[in-house]
Amino acid sequence: MIRETTHWPSPAKLNLFLYITGRRANGYHELQTIFQFLDHGDDLTITANDSGDITLTPEIPGVALEENLIWRAAVALQQFTGCQFGADIQLNKILPMGGGIGGGSSNAATVLVALNYLWQTNCSEDQLAEIGLKLGADVPVFVRGHAAFAEGVGEEISKVEPEEKWYLVVRPNVSIATVDIFTHPDLTRNTPKRPLSVLLKSDYGNDCEKIVRLLYPEVDKQLSWLLQYAPSRLTGTGSCVFAEFSSENGARNVLEQLPDNVTAFVAKGNNISPLYRTLANYRLAHNTSI
């Protein structure tokens, strides 16, 4: 076990596009999407210990410890490996909940990757992804740490190398439940499947955007404003919208013009997750391949 206090990024993600190509008999939707990480997110401070207990600070209002994905991820790794160690975890929460940029899923993945290293439990990437899938559909993408093209109901994942652009990400002051979007009768569910090579050369879109803009005027208003300056769209099914730029300056110039009552940040797209750069640095420092 590695006992030192360690610091780990828990990056945001964007869905660069999201198309719904069908609906299965069990109600699950088939889709095509690309996940790309951002160099912006939450931070987790983790110290492994001998107690076997998982502590998490600070408490998140309205979320019981046993329901928190961070705590559940740590316990799931303990149970999967039979590990007797514990950990003290401190969360610096930056990403908004319900924003569609992967905050909770990213937190869970960071815990799995970090504790697998600190506890030296030797799980493979595939095993960590298997544990993560039981916590949430997006967790395996964060566990694997590479920009990904996902198909099926999100379980068919392959690496992809989209352009690493600069993004202005804006969160209108609303929280959106995914179930409300996927159950809406007017949601587009028949976008034709296309090969990845075709998708990468096409204009990107999000089939959920029309419904979100219809139900949430705040999102509609913000997207309309951003579209004056750059290609912009919804990410996932959350409330965050983003505009893409070829330079950091371009993104920051528009950020400065945003109204004061809107939460926003500028970040660069990363095809390799910041989490894995941190893991590589710790491995190098300790001369270990675990």
pLDDT of residue 107: 97
Q: Which residue has the higher pLDDT, 62 or 205?
A: 205
Query: Do 237 and 137 contact (CB within 8 A), yes or no?
Result: no
Domains of the chain, by residue range, sit at: 6-160+274-286, 166-270
Tokens at 47, concatenated: 């110290």
CA distance 147 to 136: 17
Identical fold for domains 6-160+274-286 and 166-270, yes or no, is no
pLDDT 10s digits, 184-200:
999 999 999 999 999 99
Query: Do 238 and 163 contact (CB within 8 A), yes or no?
Result: no
pLDDT of 290 higher than 70:
no
288 confidence band (pLDDT: 50, 70, 90) = low
Tokens at 120, concatenated: 């030296």
| Options 3.30.470.20, 3.40.50.1390, 3.30.230.10, 3.40.50.150; CATH of 6-160+274-286 | 3.30.230.10
157 class by beta-carbon count within 10 Å (0-12 exposed, 13-18 middle, 19+ buried): middle
pLDDT 10s digits, 251-280:
999 999 998 778 999 999 999 999 999 999
pLDDT more than 90, % of the chain: 83
pLDDT 10s digits, 33-64:
999 999 999 999 999 999 999 999 998 888 89
CA distance 192 to 31: 10
Q: Annotated catalytic, 13? A: yes
CA distance 128 to 141: 11
Q: Which residue has the higher pLDDT, 290 or 97?
A: 97
Q: What DSSP assignment string belongs to the chain? A: ---S-EEEEEEEEEEEEEEEEEE-TTSPEEEEEEEEEEEEEEEEEEEEESS--EEEESPPTT--GGG-HHHHHHHHHHHHHT---EEEEEEE--SPTTSSS-HHHHHHHHHHHHHHHHTT----HHHHHHHHHTT-TTHHHHHHTB-EEEETTTTEEEE------EEEEEE-S----HHHHHT-TT----PPP--HHHHHHSPP-BTTHHHHHHH-HHHHHHHHHHTTTS-EEE-TTSS-EEEEESSHHHHHHHHTTS-TTSEEEEEEEESB-HHHHHHHHHHHHHT---
Length, in residues, of the chain: 290
Q: Domain spanning 166-270: which superfamily?
A: GHMP kinase, C-terminal domain (3.30.70.890)
284 confidence band (pLDDT: 50, 70, 90) = very high
Catalytic residue among 42, 138, 165, 207: 138
pTM: 0.94
Catalytic residue among 13, 42, 165, 207: 13
Place of tokens 């001998």: 50
